Amino acid sequence: MTKPRIAIFDFGCCEGCQLQIVNLEEELLDLVGLVDVVSWREAMTGHSDQYDIAFVEGSITREAEMERLKGIRQNAKVLVALGACAHIGGVNCLKNFFEMDEVLEYVYGKDAKHFDTIPARPLSAVVPVDYAVPGCPIDRKEFVEVTKALLLGKKPPIPNYPVCVECRSKGNVCVFDKGMTCLGPVTRAGCGAICPTYGNSCEGCRGLVDDPNLDSHKEVLQEHGLTVEQMLNSFRMFDGYMEVAK
């Protein structure tokens, strides 16, 4: 049996999700033994357009990137969004709340003409995406689980319940009770509630669960004297592309 061919690509991002894959270390060798990695610029030299599964990191932030992504979609049987930038747009979409001319001028001044940018968007805004490994950055163990499922022809096991479930099971004090705002009630779990566990609030980097109970979330905010504006601000950090943050 021939091994499934895997390619890893990146667009506008920090490449930290690919780094999570590199950081698998011992497990990486087992994983590489099961597949043929044909393209992965961050970790190897060489490239082929013949691949079965494409993992794509980053948001689309330039006109020309759309064509490149469409090409990848054409070559790949399965396309997986890798990390928040590819999955939901991530922090890149924070610039979308400004005019693009203003964005260019603010950062590059008179040299702005050398640069090109469009409002940032997730992969799914340009091409159909089959699956996502959520998070900023991705959880490397979850990446292994997703890859294993794909190699076995199964649906990747991504939870569809909110972060609160994992947070409660860890026995954490609720972030709202500490007077902070939190996106845990509506954000997809799978991270082990890592941010609330270490004293921060959930920032929603894994995107929303399917059918989030936003009305209930608003009630929780009101109970704790927090405003909808504070909630929108929180959503914009990672989920600015979504309607819920606009």
Partner 1 sequence: MKDGKINVHYVTRVEGHGNIVVDLKDSAIKELRWEIPEAPRFFEVMVRGRSYADAPHITSRICGICSIGHTIASQGAALGDTRSTPLL
Residue 173 backbone class (left: φ over 0; alpha: ψ -120 to 50; beta: rest): beta
Alpha carbons 205 and 237: distance in angstroms, whole number: 8
The residues pairing with 2 across neighbouring beta strands, listed in sequence order, are none
Q: Is 235 in the site for partner 1 (CB under 8 A)?
A: no
The one among 87, 95, 140, 206 contacting partner 1 by CB under 8 A: 95
Alpha carbons 162 and 167: distance in angstroms, whole number: 9
Contact 28, 54 (CB under 8 A): no
| Contacts of 144 by beta carbon, 8 Å cutoff, 6+ apart | 24, 27, 31
Q: Is 117 in the site for partner 1 (CB under 8 A)?
A: yes
Q: Is 44 in the site for partner 1 (CB under 8 A)?
A: yes
The one among 52, 54, 61, 121 contacting partner 1 by CB under 8 A: 61
Which region among 30-38, 39-47, 48-56, 183-191 touches partner 1 (by CB under 8 A)? 39-47
Q: Is 16 in the site for partner 1 (CB under 8 A)?
A: yes
Which region among 24-32, 85-93, 159-167, 181-189 touches partner 1 (by CB under 8 A)? 85-93
Site string for partner 1, 131-170 (x = CB under 8 A): -----xx---------------------------------
Structure tokens at 153: 């022809």
Q: Is 56 in the site for partner 1 (CB under 8 A)?
A: no
Alpha carbons 140 and 137: distance in angstroms, whole number: 9
Structure tokens at 125: 């805004």
The one among 90, 122, 135, 162 contacting partner 1 by CB under 8 A: 90
How many CB atoms lie under 10 A from the CB of residue 218?
13
Give the nearest distance from C-beta 31 to partner 1 in angstroms: 18
Alpha carbons 58 and 132: distance in angstroms, whole number: 12
The one among 65, 142, 166, 239 contacting partner 1 by CB under 8 A: 65
How many CB atoms lie under 10 A from the CB of residue 194?
16
The one among 34, 43, 173, 228 contacting partner 1 by CB under 8 A: 43
Q: Which residues bind partner 1 (CB under 8 A)?
A: 11-19, 41-45, 58, 61-62, 65, 90-92, 94-95, 98, 102-103, 106-108, 115, 117, 136-137, 200, 203, 233, 237
